[in-house]
Amino acid sequence: MVDTDVAWNDRVHFIAISARVMRRVLVDYAKAKQRERRGGPQQRLTLDEALLSADESAASILDLDMALNKLSVQDSRKAEIVQLVSFGGLTAEEVVEVVCISTATVNRDLRLARAWLRSELASAAQM
């Protein structure tokens, strides 16, 4: 049974939770698709394509999820920002409200996180 009595602190809390839930839904969907295909052909996408669209291939979503998990170990704020933008659909200005940092820092962290993720996804693709 699901507990429907969630104590939302404010709009920011709701948005942050929604982004996490959306990520989990997409990852679960991608895992289900992978099971259906049983290792079928995989389509390679750039990071921007994977970040901008929720209906990308299951392999790309799973690769992005694994890379985000690695990033969260190294820098949890950058991982949270990517999650809020990619899975929550927030703008930089909205992320400022959630993370409580400046717009310049959000933009800088997002650029660095995307570069790190591109590198991580590229090295994973070569394996």
Summarize pLDDT for 47-86 with one digit per residue, the tens: 555 554 444 466 688 888 999 999 999 999 999 999 999 8
Is position 95 within any domain? Answer: yes
Q: How many domains does the chain have?
A: 1
pLDDT for res 55: 43
2 belongs to a structural domain:
no
Kindly state whether residue 20 falls inside one of the protein's structural domains.
Answer: yes
The answer as to whether 76 is a domain residue is yes
Q: How confident is the model at residue 106 (pLDDT cuts 50, 70, 90)?
A: very high
Residue 55 lies in a domain: yes
Q: Does 104 map to a domain?
A: yes
In a domain, 111, yes or no: yes
pLDDT higher than threshold 90 for residue 112 = yes
Residue 10 has pLDDT above 70, yes or no: yes
HEC letters along the chain = CCCCCCCCCCHHHHHHHHHHHHHHHHHHHHHHHHHHHCCCCCCCCCHHHHHHCCCCCHHHHHHHHHHHHHHHHHCHHHHHHHHHHHCCCCCHHHHHHHHCCCHHHHHHHHHHHHHHHHHHHHHHHHC
Domain range enclosing 100:
11-126
- pLDDT of 96: 92
Domain contains 21: yes
